[in-house]
């Protein structure tokens, strides 16, 4: 019985790139982002210069988007993925 040749060799394949993943409890991440937003809103109220206030507003918008993303996903953990190594 003849065998068909293997079209590739496992030894000739380049090694796969690793992707680092940090698994974070979703509820704790949500609480941390919510607490950060609370502090940013307090800082926004204390800022008197419009340039400082604009910086706070940009950070608030970013963290509100992150909080919305966390709340849209379900499960016990959130996987934060870094760039491939």
User: Would residue 13 count as lying in a domain?
Assistant: no
User: Would residue 54 count as lying in a domain?
Assistant: yes
Task: Please state the separation of Cα 39 from the chain's center in Å.
Answer: 20
pLDDT of residue 26: 96
User: Would residue 41 count as lying in a domain?
Assistant: yes
* pTM of the shown model: 0.69
User: Would residue 60 count as lying in a domain?
Assistant: yes
Degrees, nearest 5: CA angle 51-55-60: 145
User: Would residue 40 count as lying in a domain?
Assistant: yes
Q: Give the number of domains in the chain.
A: 1
Sign of torsion, CA 46 51 57 60? negative
**What is the rounded distance in angstroms from the CA atom of residue 64 to the CA atom of residue 62?**
5
User: Would residue 55 count as lying in a domain?
Assistant: yes
User: Would residue 2 count as lying in a domain?
Assistant: no
User: Would residue 14 count as lying in a domain?
Assistant: no
Residue 20 has what DSSP assignment?
Answer: -
Q: What is the pLDDT along the chain (85 residues), one digit of tens a residue?
A: 556 665 555 555 666 788 899 999 999 999 999 999 999 999 998 887 878 888 899 999 999 999 999 999 889 999 999 988 7
pLDDT of residue 77: 95
């Amino acid at each position: 019985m003849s065998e068909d040749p293997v079209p590739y060799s496992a030894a000739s394949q380049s090694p796969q790139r690793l992707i680092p993943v940090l698994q974070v409890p979703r509820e704790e991440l949500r609480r941390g982002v919510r607490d950060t937003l609370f502090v940013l809103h307090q800082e926004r109220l204390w800022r008197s210069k419009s340039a400082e206030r604009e910086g706070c507003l940009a950070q608030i918008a970013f963290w509100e988007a992150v909080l919305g993303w966390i709340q849209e996903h379900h499960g016990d953990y959130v996987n934060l993925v870094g760039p491939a190594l």
